[in-house]
């Protein structure tokens, strides 16, 4: 019986199929698949620490293989966005005119 792929492993498999075999070697593919599987297993265990560590390793392998997307220009975190907006230009108390 064939085992079912988890969410991350299935997405990686689709990506690797679309890339073809020429771009990433067999050893890198195996390492990526193993780490993607580790992420899926950690998610099934519902252990936040395991998920974080597995994701960290997976993203490092993706970066090493040249699969990572470019860093977003805008902060993804809401709190980080809020902090970035505080440093931006805006009307201050001294900008109002007094008659």
The answer to the question of residue 58 being in a domain is yes
The answer to the question of residue 90 being in a domain is no
Tell me the pLDDT tens digit for each residue of 39-54: 999 999 999 999 999 9
Tokens representing residue 3 in the block: 């085992």
CA-to-CA distance for 54 and 42, rounded, in angstroms? 7
The answer to the question of residue 85 being in a domain is no
Instruction: Look up the domain containing 18 and give its range.
Output: 1-69
Q: Report CA Rg, the chain.
A: 21
The answer to the question of residue 15 being in a domain is yes
The answer to the question of residue 53 being in a domain is yes
3-state helix, strand, coil split of the chain in percent (to 5) is: 65, 0, 35
* Count of domains forming the chain: 1
The answer to the question of residue 55 being in a domain is yes
Q: What is the mean pLDDT of the chain?
A: 80
* pLDDT score recorded for residue 18: 84
Look up the pTM and report it. Answer: 0.64
Contacts of 75 (CB under 8 A, 6+ apart): 81, 84
Tell me the pLDDT tens digit for each residue of 14-31: 888 888 777 888 889 899
């Amino acid at each position: 019986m064939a085992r079912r792929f988890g969410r991350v492993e299935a997405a990686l498999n689709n990506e690797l199929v679309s890339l073809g075999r020429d771009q990433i070697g067999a050893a890198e593919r195996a390492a990526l698949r193993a780490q993607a599987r580790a992420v899926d297993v950690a998610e099934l265990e519902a252990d936040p620490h395991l998920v974080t560590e597995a994701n960290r390793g997976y993203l490092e392998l993706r970066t090493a293989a040249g699969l990572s997307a470019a860093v977003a220009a805008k902060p993804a975190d809401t709190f980080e966005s809020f902090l970035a907006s505080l440093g931006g230009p805006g009307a201050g108390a001294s900008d109002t005119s007094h008659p």
